[in-house]
Chain A
Amino acid sequence: MRILLTGGTGFIGKNLISYLNSKHISVDNLSREILKNDKKLDDFIKLKQSKMKQNYDILIHLAAELDNSSKKLITTNVSLTKKLLKLCEKNKINKFIFASSHLVYGKTDYLPIDEEHSTKPKMNYEKSKLIAENLCKSFSKDSNLQISILRISSVYGFGQNEKYIIPRMFKDALSKEIIVHKYSNGFQLMDLIHVDDVSKGILKFCISNKTGIYNLSSGIGITAFDMAKIISKFVKECNISTENKKDETNHFLYDVTKIQQEINFKANIKPNSKILKSWFKKFFELEKLNDARNLNNKRKQ
């Protein structure tokens, strides 16, 4: 199986490459530089395919502009998807796996959210994902390309940026006080999926011939407060304080029946104390290392 990938330097992408490599599956990442230039892109694929003496089998499209403040976000994300769909057709790549987002659903009407739930995205990023999904759907009608659209929920795991909830809580825990937002409709209910489970799920789609839209999530709900309770136990005398918010939050919990039944995928890793504690230990070591580096730099100055 020969796989072409976009977004290989991102959080999910990096993990996916090492997971696929551990299964002896070869993956080539299309960097931003190559993607920007049509000629470079054509040359890259031609060269690789002639070396392999075969075509790529699958293109996994993870890359996306994330910055909601960017005016070009929608056009960038949609036009990139369009370019890649055409690239598959031109180079006889049979399968296209598109990483969409759970945020395309917008305001939650009911729980658990299944694939039939209405889509009312609010922010540009979500909108761009939904437009790209529609592009994929119309492309699959007019071509033989097998397209799977994965609505991936909130991903967590070691190496994640500190702006996300768990690393942010880790950082709070180190200063002995975890701050949890309490909205007018309570603490947010979240449905998280571990980055390793995302990789496993994507591989299942590489092997399967199923097409269509799927929720890729754990299907397990946990509130931000319950998460804080778990993390607070990792540090002695760590308090949890709530910050009241006047607005409402959106609760998330996904129906994973379709992916379980059709793809035989079930997320194995739960955000429990054991998983979080081992990540917290690594986080703590890294923080110590960073502090020591900063101190050293200051001394040098």
Chain B
Amino acid sequence: MKMKNLIIFDFDDTIVDNSKLDYMGFKIPCQKLGIKFPSKLKLKTYRKKGLTAREIIKFFSNNEKIIMEFLILRKIFLKKKSSNYLTVKPFSNLVFQKLIKSNNELVICTVNNNPKMINFFLKVNNLNQLFKKIFTIKDLGITLENNNYSNRILIKTSLLRLILKNSKNQNKNFIFIGNSLEDYFAAKKSKIKFIYFQNSYLPNPKINNLIKITKMKQLSNLIKGETN
């Protein structure tokens, strides 16, 4: 009998396109504070270089107090308005349905600590029935107020291990689809097969022998090939 796949998706910038939200997350707080903000194109360039919001805003203001106010306003904006500016990556719904039809189970694993927003987003985009579960930091029963690089690896690795633990004795293949170096390391530490979604906002990791996709459409064929 063919073994079932459990396909684990990262959320931000893998299932959803965050570029508009990221841009608005600069525009709205900066307008409130009366400071300049990066254009969409410039912001993409900064993000490709791997710069954080704090590092980017420093190009527009060197006043530490304003930077702090910006970061607080940005955090509030992202928390309240996230789902308004997110869009599903093209063909995702179709690909997810196809994957489920061919004996795969789908879950989400994310460092995003707002499961309410994710649920709402999935519901309005008609995706909520397709994912078996959403794993967030809340499933670990902890709060880490900082999501820096090493914390993201730690959270992702912990969540992947939790998923493995929950699926113990269930004879499954595990595949993790993510868009970052952190995702790659978390998959490696958890000994889970990794597929890198390159159509990303983030810097491209320079890792040899990485299985890559650039469009969601490529996923169903790739997974068929991987498990045959």
Q: A221 and B141: CB pair below 8 A?
A: yes
Collect the chain B residues with CB atoms within 8 Å of residue A187's CB.
145-146
Distance, CA A187 to CA B151, complexed state (A): 11
Q: B157 and A110: CB pair below 8 A?
A: yes
Report the minimum CB–CB distance from B169 to chain A (whole Å): 15
Say yes or no: is B144 at the interface (Cβ < 8 Å to chain A): yes
Q: A225 and B189: CB pair below 8 A?
A: no
Distance, CA A253 to CA B139, complexed state (A): 13
Distance, CA A221 to CA B141, complexed state (A): 8
Q: A223 and B157: CB pair below 8 A?
A: no
Among B142, B151, B189, contact of A221 (Cβ-Cβ < 8 Å): B142
Interface residues of A in 107-126 (CB under 8 A from B): 108-112
Distance, CA A112 to CA B161, complexed state (A): 10
Distance, CA A109 to CA B157, complexed state (A): 7
Collect the chain B residues with CB atoms within 8 Å of residue A225's CB.
145
Collect the chain B residues with CB atoms within 8 Å of residue A226's CB.
143
Chain A residue at minimal CB-CB distance from B156: A110
Chain B residue at minimal CB-CB distance from A221: B142
Say yes or no: is B158 at the interface (Cβ < 8 Å to chain A): yes
Chain A residue at minimal CB-CB distance from B160: A110
Distance, CA A112 to CA B158, complexed state (A): 7
Collect the chain B residues with CB atoms within 8 Å of residue A112's CB.
140, 158
Chain A residue at minimal CB-CB distance from B146: A186
Collect the chain A residues with CB atoms within 8 Å of residue B141's CB.
220-221, 253
Report the minimum CB–CB distance from B71 to chain A (whole Å): 14
Interface residues of A in 174-204 (CB under 8 A from B): 184-187, 189
Say yes or no: is A151 at the interface (Cβ < 8 Å to chain B): no
Report the minimum CB–CB distance from B155 to chain A (whole Å): 8
Collect the chain B residues with CB atoms within 8 Å of residue A253's CB.
140-142
Collect the chain A residues with CB atoms within 8 Å of residue B189's CB.
109-110
Collect the chain B residues with CB atoms within 8 Å of residue A111's CB.
140, 142, 154-155, 158
Interface membership of chain A positions 240-265, coded 1 if the CB is closer than 8 angstroms to chain B and 0 otherwise: 00000000100101000000000000
Collect the chain A residues with CB atoms within 8 Å of residue B154's CB.
108-111, 251
Footprint of B on A, CB under 8 Å?
A: 108-112, 184-187, 189, 220-221, 223, 225-226, 248, 251, 253
Rank and list the top 6 A-B pairs by shortest CB-CB distance, nearest first. A186-B146, A221-B142, A110-B157, A110-B158, A111-B158, A185-B151
13 A-B residue pairs with CB within 8 Å: A110-B154, A110-B158, A110-B189, A112-B140, A185-B150, A185-B151, A186-B144, A186-B151, A187-B146, A221-B141, A251-B144, A251-B151, A251-B154
